[in-house]
């Protein structure tokens, strides 16, 4: 129960960090703020398992104001899980923000930063078999 409450608090903190607005930090490759980049993700999710070739996630929800929120995780049935496969050219980035910050810092990283219960922003396409082919994965962490 405590773990579930912590995940819900983390999801709420993530939501607060994203909706507070745009700051001066930009993602150097696009000129957009990190928050703007995150809002363009094809899927926001929470990692429940991972491997070298992909991960399994629980898709987040979209709130009434079109805010994308990661799932709280916890015990879910297999129907709620989505298999994510990494494309050959997948890139991984780590977005970090402090609580109450208007934007996040973004840096290149590797898939070794991906952990269970990580909040991820996925860019890519759904395949005919229901898997999601990820071209880009942004791992989001809130710093205290």
Highest mean pLDDT among 7-11, 16-20, 63-67, 107-111: 107-111
Which of 1-5, 21-25, 50-54 tops mean pLDDT?
Answer: 50-54
Which position has the higher pLDDT, 101 or 45? 45
Which pLDDT belongs to residue 79? 72
The predicted model gives 34-49 an average pLDDT of 92
Q: Residue 19's pLDDT is what?
A: 42
Please identify which residue in the block is written with the tokens 């070794």. Answer: 112
Per residue in 52-90, pLDDT (tens digit) is 999 999 998 765 444 445 545 555 667 789 999 999 999
pLDDT in tens, 95-141: 998 887 778 899 999 999 999 999 999 999 999 999 999 999 999 99
Taking only Cα atoms into account, the Rg of the chain, rounded to an integer number of angstroms, comes to: 14
Distant-in-sequence contacts of 38-43, Cβ < 8 A, 24+ apart:
38/68, 38/95, 38/104, 38/121, 38/138, 38/140, 39/68, 40/123, 41/68, 41/121, 41/122, 41/123, 41/138, 42/122, 42/123, 42/124, 42/125, 42/132, 43/82, 43/121, 43/122, 43/132
Select the more confidently predicted residue: 72 or 40. 40
Mean pLDDT of the chain: 78
Number of domains in the chain: 1
Give the per-residue pLDDT at 53: 94
Is it the case that residue 29 has pLDDT exceeding 50? Answer: yes
Full domain range(s) for residue 40: 2-143
């Amino acid at each position: 129960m405590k773990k579930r409450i912590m995940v819900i608090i983390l999801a709420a903190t993530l939501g607060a960090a994203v909706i507070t607005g745009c700051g001066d930090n930009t993602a150097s490759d696009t000129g957009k703020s990190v928050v703007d980049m995150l809002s363009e993700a094809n899927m926001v999710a929470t990692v429940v398992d991972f491997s070298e070739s992909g991960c399994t996630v629980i898709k987040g929800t979209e709130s009434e104001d079109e805010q994308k929120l990661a799932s709280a995780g916890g015990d879910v049935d297999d129907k709620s899980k989505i298999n994510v496969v990494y494309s050959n050219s997948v890139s991984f980035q780590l977005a970090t923000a402090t609580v109450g910050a208007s934007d996040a810092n973004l840096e290149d990283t590797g898939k070794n930063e991906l952990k269970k219960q990580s909040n991820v922003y996925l860019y890519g396409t759904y395949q005919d078999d229901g898997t999601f082919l990820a071209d880009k994965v942004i791992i989001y962490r809130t710093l205290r």
